[in-house]
Amino acid sequence: MKADLISAIRKLGIPDFDADGKYLGHYSVKEFTGSLGAPDDDANNTLTGRLLLFLESQPLLGEGAYSDIIDDVIASYWRDYGDHAERFMPAFLANDILRLWRTFCVNYEAKTERDPHEKKIEGKIKNYKLKHSRMLTCYSALLYLLGVFQLDKTVSPDQAKRMTQLTPTARLSWLLEHPEFKDIHDVTNQLLQKYAEFLEKTDRPKDELIAAFTENSSDWMEGSYAFGDLMFEALSRLGEQNRFYRLIVV
């Protein structure tokens, strides 16, 4: 299967998988749900696999099986929903999303090479991407869940599944569709604009990207901090007087 995947992407002109396919691992549903909250969840990479499945995956085939897997993962996070359906806060999932974000950050610090100079530049580019794409993956989900809770005072499994069917940018667009969130429409639009600029800057061959980043590294990194500031502003403004937001922060 791995060989067929590698052949397929080469025929399509897609860049090869990172690390010679090292990350083409596979997991059973039981591994995803059984490891939830376990001490080795992070070490076995089931945390990352489960959350990326939940937050930014799309099925290439087998949509029925994919839907069932998502349902099983949601059921594991919503295990207490039956007793709290009218005021359910998905704190378990929110904690795992935050843990995933922290794991991304820690892994970057631990694995990034500072020497030689070329590796240092590549590391800074990874940091730049981390502060845009990975941040958006995690925090668009938190914004969506917080928005649902703001509207309904609960978050149902069906609402969680609808979130999994949206891309990170579509979750931001969902906020714009609701007049109830008009107080953060300006900052949400800015997030979408900044993310589009990020995609334009990074959509180039590796050598060109390194050259462009080297020439404009200060401006680019300043832009990544601005993106994080906007995300914080959106989350904190949406979370005003919201108990679920309190559980996300403390």
For residue 142, what are its two tokens? 């938190």
Q: Which residue has the higher pLDDT, 194 or 21?
A: 194
- Model confidence at 45, pLDDT cuts 50, 70, 90, reads confident
For residue 148, what are its two tokens? 């649902």
Q: Which residue has the higher pLDDT, 121 or 72?
A: 72
Task: Supply the mean pLDDT for the chain.
Answer: 91
pLDDT higher than threshold 80 for residue 112: no
User: By mean pLDDT, which of 21-25, 54-58, 104-108, 161-165 is the weakest?
Assistant: 21-25
pLDDT higher than threshold 70 for residue 139: yes
The whole-number pLDDT of residue 199 equals: 96
Mean pLDDT of 194-202: 96
Report the distance separating Cα 137 and Cα 147, nearest Å. Answer: 16
Q: Map tokens 């999932």 to a residue.
A: 93
Q: Report yes or no: 171 and 138 within 8 Å, Cβ to Cβ.
A: no
Report the distance separating Cα 147 and Cα 248, nearest Å. Answer: 13
Angle between helices 46-56 and 63-77 (to 10 degrees): 110
pLDDT higher than threshold 80 for residue 155: yes
Report the distance separating Cα 127 and Cα 114, nearest Å. Answer: 13
